[in-house]
């Protein structure tokens, strides 16, 4: 389709979205305040979940790059996020 993307989480606290056709950066999601340890994409490809050393997990709308709701606050760093097959 020419619309494939690579999404990366990084030690600089950012999540970056790259277009795989040109390898140009499409967007930077930068609401985390520490290392982004893990990311997961929902089965429908429209929601990104991220886990960070900043003790939060966050949900992102991949259509517009905006946060969905408030971050999930934890008492310690969040190491992993995932979606079930039904998207929950």
Domains in the chain (CATH in brackets) are 5-73 (2.40.10)
* pLDDT at residue 2, as a whole number: 56
Alpha-carbon span 5 to 85, nearest angstrom: 21
Tokens of 69: 């709701």
Q: What is the DSSP string of the chain?
A: ----EEEEE-TTS-EEEEETTT--EEEEE---SS-EEEEEE-TTSSEEEEEETTSEEEEEETTTTEE-SS-EE-SS--------TT--
Rounded to two decimals, what is the model's pTM?
Answer: 0.90
Give pLDDT tens digits for 11-64: 999 999 999 999 999 999 999 999 999 999 999 999 999 999 999 999 999 999
Query: In which band, very low, low, confident or very high, does the pLDDT at 88 lie, cut at 50, 70 and 90?
Result: confident
Question: Residue 1 pLDDT more than 60?
Answer: no
Question: Residue 81 pLDDT more than 70?
Answer: yes
């Amino acid at each position: 389709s020419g619309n494939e993307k690579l999404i990366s989480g990084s030690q600089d606290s950012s999540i970056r979205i790259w277009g795989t056709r040109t390898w140009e950066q499409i967007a930077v999601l930068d609401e985390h305040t520490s290392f982004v340890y893990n990311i997961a994409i929902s089965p429908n490809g429209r929601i990104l979940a991220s886990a960070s050393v900043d003790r939060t997990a966050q949900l992102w709308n991949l259509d517009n790059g905006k946060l969905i709701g408030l971050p999930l606050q934890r008492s310690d760093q969040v190491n992993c996020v995932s979606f079930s097959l039904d998207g929950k």
